Amino acid sequence: MISQARTIEELPHIEAQLHYLGVMAERPRTYTYDPPAGVARSNAAYETRTVPIYSARPVASEISLDRQGFAVHRHRSAVHDFYDDDEVREVYYPEAQRVLTELTGADRVFVFDHTQRRRMNGVVDRAPGTPRQPATRVHVDHTATSGPQRVRDFLGADADELLRGRVQVINLWRPIRGPVHDAPLAVCDALSVASGDLVASDLVYPDRVGEIYAVTYNPAHRWFYVPEMREDETLLLKCYDSAADGRARFAPHTAFDDPTTPADAPPRESIELRTLVFHSA
């Protein structure tokens, strides 16, 4: 039940294909660079499922980070060029800190990186010399292990004290150009996700091994998207929460091919910020 007056089945929706982790006997692993000779870039096996994806627009005011694990927020940025990394750090990072402080009541917000994506047909994500591509596998960016590890990685001397309080990893996603028709972002209601649906997986970098959750299919999953998202709209995605008291902790998400996308729609361009959000003990 979304509200007393409306069930999810009454919301506008589309049917689309999402790519879930399939049955595996070994731990999923993906290299972010060309792997050693004779080693596959990824050992993960995926299966495609057609699912309903509901419009979040009619119920945006009822959706929240602590219930569903995501939220829709209007925010007009002062950034002129989201492809200018210096401007993003100097202007957009402080904007994001203010937005997240206001929306979560946090004592401290630390932005630890950002990624611009521009879809190009036939290009593999992370291919040298090409833009980052939309992520087309259902996943969560952090796990119960890697969430706290990010605090230790970036805030060394303060980490132990910060980890005594509540810690969240929240992504702030927005279109660089809108409205978005091509490769929009779908987010799964965290209330519909069972802990067994989340599979810890290795993401291998040249200098470290990160851990994310791949996600297995569950017919109970409830998927949402924001049709025709504009440049002044953002999606907040909760990728980790140390609070284990019934609040949403992990929100799976993925880009997907919208079957209603016009043939002449421009390729999706977007930017996401990843942040550590702290609440005092």
- The tens digit of pLDDT for each residue in 197-225 reads 999 999 999 999 999 999 999 999 999 99
What's the whole-model pTM score?
0.95
Q: Which residues pair with 108 in a beta bridge?
A: 278
**Confidence band of 5 (pLDDT split at 50, 70, 90):** very low
Which of the 8 DSSP states describes residue 175?
A: E
The SS3 of residue 83 is coil
Given this model, what pLDDT does residue 3 score?
Answer: 52
Token couple for 114:
């950002």
β strands within 126-222, DSSP E: 139-140, 166-175, 185-188, 198-204, 209-215
Architecture of domain 8-19+47-279: Sandwich (2.60)
Nearest partner of 65 among 31, 96, 104, judged by Cα: 104
pLDDT in tens, 15-64: 999 999 999 999 999 999 999 999 999 999 999 999 999 999 999 999 99
Contact 89, 60 (CB under 8 A): no
Cα–Cα distance, 181 to 192 (Å, whole number): 26
**pLDDT: which is higher, 212 or 127:** 212
pLDDT in tens, 268-278: 999 999 999 99
Nearest partner of 64 among 278, 263, 250, 248, judged by Cα: 248
Interval 70-91 mean pLDDT: 98
Strand order in 108-118's β-sheet? 70-74, 233-241, 166-175, 269-279, 108-118
N-term to C-term CA, the chain: 33
β strands within 83-161, DSSP E: 108-118, 139-140
Q: 63 vs 23, 79, 157, 230, 278, CA distance in Å? A: 32, 27, 36, 18, 21
Q: What is the mean pLDDT of the chain?
A: 95
Token couple for 213:
């959750």
